[in-house]
């Protein structure tokens, strides 16, 4: 189909447009011209793709940033609508994490055919369950129960070329079963220097609600997942961005398998070498990767890498910029080793560096909470009990029990207690808090004006937080 559409696009400029002398449109031609063939091909593609695109409605809580100096995340209630695409006949859906993040309840509306829409039939609505969320890539996997559901295949985003025809599907502003057409403006757009994420840039119209919908090629393969726009007006201005399918595939497979994503790192802050950087440091080349920092005691440090080393290659592949290095590390199995060749002065050195999984941010516990079960309103927090799963995320902690602060609420009688996400609460007024119910019950016993002293662990250190109950 790709070859036919591209050939037809070349012929559109010569398609006949006949008008009668009276100024009225002429009768449809007996033979189907190239323009009508193109239109028919696009209609056929849209019908096939649309059946696998879903509308996702999420009700729940969203984590936002507070404006105070602690930068602690706040939990606020919200409702949102986005899109998703079915990748399997048994109901696995990929979407953006910001569509479902903090969701208390998910509903997934399956697409209707154009005929069904014309008849006013309601779309089939299913309950959705979050399988896993990855905030770094802004991807999530949702599961619905079903069989023989229409679904699409992930394509190879590395084959995309500038100017290639693409179509964006989704539910912009809640208008389900919408489609727009455009071209690939850039196949690997990097928005920030040394950012590991790259995006497909397209001029196909993308608006709020398109998030999580597929960007497909002329063969109907998912080449990207619509994610965000750059705009001054708030609407589409032809600067839409989609996560490339090859990144989607890697994250999707890991989320489906284990519910989270393993990212490899070696304890290096990599920087892309620029001509100015090379001139100032008298480097032998004005491109490549520089070790801007080496984490003390990290894998690279222990292997012998030093700040200022120029990383020439990884596993035999030349490293042209920091993004390339980070991307290859992301795909490398945690627990293995990478072979680095570096330039130090005029000497070339080689190292074997172990790949480890980095410690996660304090918000790693937020995916484990259910606001109905984990809310402790008197403290303005959502808590998670220490168990086997949280122990894996915590690493070494001072005690084997306690309640981890997963998030703070935006309001509450004691929302300014000083607790931050990632804190572990061990005791209240000297009484151990082994479970959420125990902590909740102990707080309920306190009256307004009573002293409350929490023993917590923060960043590996024990401390006391003291405040008066409101």
Active-site residues, by number, are 98, 138, 211
Using alpha carbons, list the distances in angstroms from residue 97 to 129, 135, 142, 400, 437.
Answer: 13, 6, 10, 31, 30
Q: Torsion angle, CA of 299/302/304/308, rounded to 10 degrees? A: 60
Pairing of β 73-86 and β 403-409: parallel
Query: What is the rounded CA–CA span in Å between residue 327 and residue 347?
Result: 26
Helix (H) or strand (E) holding 188: strand 178-189
What is the per-residue DSSP string for 386-429?
--HHHHHHH-S-SSS--EEEEEEES--TTTTS---TT-EEEEET
CA distance 362 to 394: 9
Closest CA to 236 of 198, 210, 218, 197: 210
| CA–CA separation, 183 and 240 (whole Å) | 11
DSSP result, 235-277: S--S-EEEEEHHHHHHHHHHHHHHSS----B-SEEEEE--HHH
Parallel/antiparallel/unpaired status of strands 240-244 and 199-202: antiparallel
């Amino acid at each position: 189909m790709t070859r036919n559409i591209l050939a037809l696009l070349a012929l559109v400029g010569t398609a006949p447009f006949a008008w009668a002398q009276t100024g009225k449109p002429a009768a449809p031609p007996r033979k189907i011209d190239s323009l009508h063939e193109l239109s028919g091909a696009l209609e056929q593609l849209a019908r096939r793709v649309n059946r696998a695109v879903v509308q996702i409605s999420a009700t729940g809580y969203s984590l936002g940033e507070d404006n105070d100096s602690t930068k602690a995340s706040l939990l606020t209630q919200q409702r949102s609508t986005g899109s998703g695409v079915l990748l399997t006949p048994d109901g696995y859906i990929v979407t953006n994490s910001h569509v479902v993040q903090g969701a208390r309840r998910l509903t997934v509306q399956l697409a209707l055919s154009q005929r069904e829409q014309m008849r006013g039939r309601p779309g089939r609505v299913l309950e959705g369950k979050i399988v896993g969320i990855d905030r770094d890539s802004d991807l999530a996997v949702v599961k619905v129960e079903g069989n023989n559901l229409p679904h699409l295949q992930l394509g190879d985003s590395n084959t995309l070329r500038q100017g290639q025809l693409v179509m964006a599907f989704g539910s912009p502003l809640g208008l389900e079963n919408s489609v727009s057409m455009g071209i690939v403006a850039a196949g690997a757009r990097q928005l920030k220097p040394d950012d590991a994420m790259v995006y497909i840039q397209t001029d196909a119209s993308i608006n709020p609600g398109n998030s999580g919908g597929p960007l497909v090629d002329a063969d109907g393969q998912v080449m990207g997942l619509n994610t965000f726009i750059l705009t001054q007006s708030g609407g589409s201005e032809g600067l839409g961005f989609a996560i490339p399918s090859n990144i989607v595939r890697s994250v999707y497979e890991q989320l489906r398998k284990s519910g989270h994503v393993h990212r490899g790192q070696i304890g290096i802050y990599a920087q892309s070498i620029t001509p100015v950087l090379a001139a100032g440091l008298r480097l032998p080349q004005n491109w490549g990767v520089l070790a801007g920092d080496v984490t003390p005691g990290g894998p690279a440090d222990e292997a012998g890498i030093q700040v200022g080393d120029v990383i020439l290659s990884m596993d035999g592949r030349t490293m042209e910029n920091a993004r390339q290095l980070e991307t290859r590390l992301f795909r490398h199995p945690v627990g293995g080793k990478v072979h680095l060749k570096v330039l130090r002065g005029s000497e070339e050195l080689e190292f074997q560096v172990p790949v480890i999984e980095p410690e996660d941010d304090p918000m790693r516990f937020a995916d484990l909470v259910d606001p109905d079960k984990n809310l402790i309103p008197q403290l303005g927090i959502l808590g998670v009990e220490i168990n086997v799963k949280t122990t894996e995320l915590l690493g070494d902690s001072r005690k084997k029990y306690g309640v981890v602060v997963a998030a703070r609420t935006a309001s509450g009688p004691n929302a300014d207690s000083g607790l931050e996400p990632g804190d572990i609460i061990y005791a209240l007024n000297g009484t151990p808090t082994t479970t959420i119910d125990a902590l909740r019950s102990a707080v309920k016993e306190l009256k307004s004006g009573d002293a409350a002293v929490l023993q917590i662990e923060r960043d590996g250190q024990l401390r006391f937080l003291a405040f008066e109950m409101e």
